[in-house]
Structures are given as C-alpha cells and as structure tokens.
Structure 1
Amino acid sequence: MIDEGDAVPAATLRLSDGSTIDLEAPGATVLYFYPKDDTSGCTREAQDFTELAGDIATAGARVVGVSRDEMKKHDKFIAKYDLKVPLASDADGALSEAFGTWVEKSMYGRKYMGMERATFLIRNGKVAKAWRKVKVPGHAAEVLKAIRL
C-alpha cells in the first residue's frame, strides 16, 4: 500500500481526453480513485472536481479520476455530466492494486472486492498527501487547499 512520502509506481496513464500522464513526471497530480461511473457518490465527486478544475490548475496541479470502468463507459459518463476532469481506466487493476485501493468491502453482510474511494496528491513522483476512505462532501475543496500549501 502506498502512503505519504512513498514513490509512486512507474505508470503512464492514457486519459479520456486523449492525452497521457506519467505519474513520475515533475509537477503535481491529483489522482483520485472512485468505485464506479454514473453512481451518486462518484458523480458528485467528479462534479466537485470539475467545478474546481480551473482553481486546481491555477494552483499548479492536474486532476485525474481512476476507476476500473472501461474507457467507453468513461466517455459516456463525461458526456452525460459535462465533466471537465479526465478519467483513466484501470481495467486490469494494476494501478489500484499498487495504490492499495482495491480492498475487501462489506454490504449487508456480504463481502466482496471493490474500489476504495481514495485520493493522492502526487508531487514530482512522490505521494505528498493521501486521503483514504474519502467522504465526498467538501473533499475536492480540501484537496485544493492542500495543493495550495
């Protein structure tokens, strides 16, 4: 599991906007993991990051959302809600495994594997700040505040 101060794994992500991002590259990236496109909490989180995307860019960072959904599903999600943050697909699970966000969950007594809602502020290839078990309300604003520090 990756934590604050740790180097990020070598990974180049293909994003929904057609660009790529190298997690080890200089600069700042907000990488947020979320369970599933077009669900209430995930939609709200994406909308909150979209609302603050300009401020986050002005503060010197780029936001990228990651789930295990396929790119076609991401494209529909982005179009439906006019999202302004790019999304990446972790269909094979390698990235979520490396960051420790693919975890055992429980609902109504049934255990299953799923994506933990977590966010990582990456600066120059290292995790500067990690938020695990994220609660959506106010989270994007909290991330923006941390970028500005």
Structure 2
Amino acid sequence: MAANGRLEVGDTAPAFTLPAANGSTVSLSDYAGRKVIVYFYPAAMTPGCTKQACDFTDNLAELGDAGIGVVGISPDTPEKLQQFAERDEITFPLLSDPDKTVLSAWGAFGEKKLYGKVVTGVIRSTFLVDENGVIALAQYNVKATGHVAKLRRDLSV
C-alpha cells in the first residue's frame, strides 16, 4: 500500500463481506479463482453513479466472457441499493458499506477535490482483482462517464 493509503498493483486485495441489494451477503472470497472488478462510487441514483452502473451493466456480457465479474460498493443502505438496481436494471451485486470500513481499507474514502474545494468523501475508484486476490489494476479519481469503455481498452476486453 502506498504512503497515501492507496492500493497499488501487486498488493493483496483487502477482504470484505458486505450486505447486497438483494438481501444476500457477498464476499471477495466468493470470486476466488476468477477475476473481479471492484468499484467504489459515492451514491446510488445520482447521475454520474447511474451512468457508471448502467455502463457496467451494458458491458457485463463482454466482461463475463473475459472471465471478469463486477461488484459495486457504496455507503448506501441495502434498501436504497435495491431501489437503484430495480430502477436501472443493474444485474451485478451492489454492496452496502455504510460505516465505510471497506471503502477506507481500499483507499476509496478520504480527502478529494470537489468543485475546487477539499472535502472528505468517497473517491470514485476501480480495481481489478486477479484470480489470486491480488490487485492487478488500481485506478483512483476515475470519471463516471466513459470509464467502462476506457477500462475495457485497458484490459483488452
């Protein structure tokens, strides 16, 4: 882990087990032996987060064909995430981290610039965890729009 608390390629991905929108629980270990994109976003049902989640949904088949799962994590409640999933037909797991423990462990919660001011909040971040639970790609401060297309290019998917 870098001095600024951010994960880097080669780091072991921090384990988690979180409640999902559908009432189940999902753990990083559920993806052992396969690749998974773990992405963190600030708030369900906001324009940027909706765009990003819908982009992942639209590209889920191609990512799946490449052996890559997708999990989204935010501080929203499971109930709000369920509304989000139903409203926008999001078919991958949306996980709830209201106390921001997992967000913090992954370096996705902290100081960021928002409209020129320094604030504390969720840092929109995306990671690719490999089959062995190791960070293969770490991207912080990603843009919601166009991010999935760039990610597919970066991963050659």
By the TM > 0.5 criterion, same fold?
Answer: yes
Match of 1:131 in 2: 139
Task: Give the CA deviation at 1:78.
Answer: 0.8
Match of 1:113 among 114, 120, 143: 120
Match of 1:22 among 28, 34, 47: 28
Match of 1:79 among 80, 83, 86: 86
Letter in 1 for 2:86: A
1:2-44 C-alpha deviation (Å, 9 max, x unpaired): 1111001122334334352324722111001000011110000
Match of 1:9 among 9, 14, 20: 14
Moved more, 77-86 or 109-118: 109-118
Distance (Å, rounded) in 2 between the aligned partners of 1:11 and 1:135 = 25
- For the Cα contact (< 8 Å) 1:118–1:134, is it kept in 2? yes
Task: Give the CA deviation at 1:113.
Answer: 1.6
Match of 2:3 in 1: none
Aligned length: 149
SS in 2 for 1:49: helix
What value does the CA root-mean-square deviation take over the aligned residues?
2.0
- For the Cα contact (< 8 Å) 1:46–1:85, is it kept in 2? no
- For the Cα contact (< 8 Å) 2:17–2:25, is it kept in 1? no
Q: Are positions 1:95 and 2:102 aligned together?
A: yes
Give TM-score, length-normalised by structure 2: 0.85
Moved more, 100-109 or 50-59: 100-109
Match of 1:144 among 137, 152, 156: 152
- For the Cα contact (< 8 Å) 1:12–1:20, is it kept in 2? yes
Give TM-score, length-normalised by structure 1: 0.89
1:50-105 C-alpha deviation (Å, 9 max, x unpaired): 00011111110110111000100000111111112210011111111111111123
> Runs of 5+ in structure 1 lacking a partner?
none
> Runs of 5+ in structure 2 lacking a partner?
1-5
| Superposition misfits of 4+ residues, deviation over 4 angstroms | 106-111
Moved more, 17-26 or 49-58: 17-26
- For the Cα contact (< 8 Å) 2:43–2:49, is it kept in 1? yes
